[in-house]
Amino acid sequence: MAYQFILTAVEDGILTITLNREKQLNALNAQLIQEIGEALETVRNDKTIKGIILTGSGSKAFAAGADIKEFSNFDIEEGEKLAIAGGKIFDKIEQFNKPVIAAVNGFALGGGCELTMACHIRIASENARFGQPEVNLGLIPGYAGTQRLVQLVGKGKALELLMTGDMIDAQEAHRLGLANNVVSLEELLPTARKMLGKIGKKGPLAIEKVIDSVNAHFDKKRNGFEAEIENFGALFNTKDFTEGTTAFMEKRKANFIGE
């Protein structure tokens, strides 16, 4: 499938989605966000794809915010529609059945920071910078940034970052729990691929249930403990469970098939 604002590539069972607006520091517009959602759907049921890497083109920015020109003249209704449409795609990333890693190369600001937080894991390059500077525009985050930032760094620090609009570097993001790892720019994609390679050797149905169970903890409509019990039980009726336990007892590596 041809896209206007993203590039896609598949290698060793990993789909890499690259935001491709380098001259605009990969600023997010509505079409780019929609294309991310479309790219994810192409691999949802593809058992050969074990994970997704989301990154930005160039070395300066993952995504340095939203495309302000796109919504500078919006009214209340248009603003809400923008947030709802983008929020649905970000929710899709968070709830996706395969692991999604944000390989954060450079600036991840505003909507770009929100996009990284929707991913399951964030690996940052040493030159990465995170921030939610929307208050400088008289706005607040619209793609659940106020919610996910609290989940990752805690209420007090989230309020500080959201109200000051300050940027933090990769090391501070790692200290706060916003970034899982910090590596050199050269090692960014190899590190993400290595992690997904490791995850890809585990039971894919189990990985899917891990994602669902963790997300349930933050879903006010669900009970996380009950979701874990249900997901735990469901896996007993899978070929992967039989293969995993058999391989363990036979002291060999399991060959999971995702069934």
β-sheet bridge partners, residue 107: 61, 129
The reply to whether 10 falls in a domain is yes
Q: Are 82 and 142 in contact (CB under 8 A)?
A: yes
Q: What is the pLDDT of residue 67?
A: 85
The reply to whether 244 falls in a domain is yes
The reply to whether 255 falls in a domain is no
Active site residues: 114, 134
β-strand pairing of 100-104 with 121-125: parallel
Q: Are 189 and 159 in contact (CB under 8 A)?
A: no
Question: Domain check: are 31 and 148 in the same one?
Answer: yes
Q: Is the pLDDT at 68 greater than 90, yes or no?
A: no
Question: Domain check: are 158 and 242 in the same one?
Answer: no
User: Tens digit of pLDDT for each residue in 147-203?
Assistant: 999 999 999 999 999 999 999 999 999 999 999 999 999 999 999 999 999 999 999
Domain termination site, one of 162, 177, 199 = 199
**What's the CA gap between 162 and 159, in Å, rounded?**
5
CATH of the domain at 25: 3.90.226.10
The reply to whether 258 falls in a domain is no
Residue 220 burial class via C-beta count within 10 angstroms: exposed 0-12, middle 13-18, buried 19 and up: exposed
Is this model's pTM higher than 0.85 or not? Answer: yes
Residue 198: what are its φ and ψ, rounded to 5°?
Answer: -70, -45
The reply to whether 130 falls in a domain is yes
- Average pLDDT value for the chain: 96
Name the percent of the chain lying above pLDDT 90: 96
Three-state SS sequence of 157-168: HHHHHHHHCCEE
Contacts of residue 133, defined as CB under 8 A and 6 or more positions apart, other chains included, come to: 65, 109, 110, 165, 167
Query: Positive or negative, the Cα torsion across 35, 9, 129, 198?
Result: positive
The reply to whether 46 falls in a domain is yes
Q: Are 119 and 100 in contact (CB under 8 A)?
A: yes
User: Tens digit of pLDDT for each residue in 191-238?
Assistant: 999 999 999 999 999 999 999 999 999 999 999 999 999 999 999 999
Question: Domain check: are 190 and 210 in the same one?
Answer: no
Lookup: tokens for 48: 């050969």
Question: What is the domain extent for residue 236?
Answer: 204-249
Question: Domain check: are 98 and 212 in the same one?
Answer: no
Question: Domain check: are 179 and 144 in the same one?
Answer: yes
- Give the other-Cβ count within 10 Å of 79's Cβ: 13
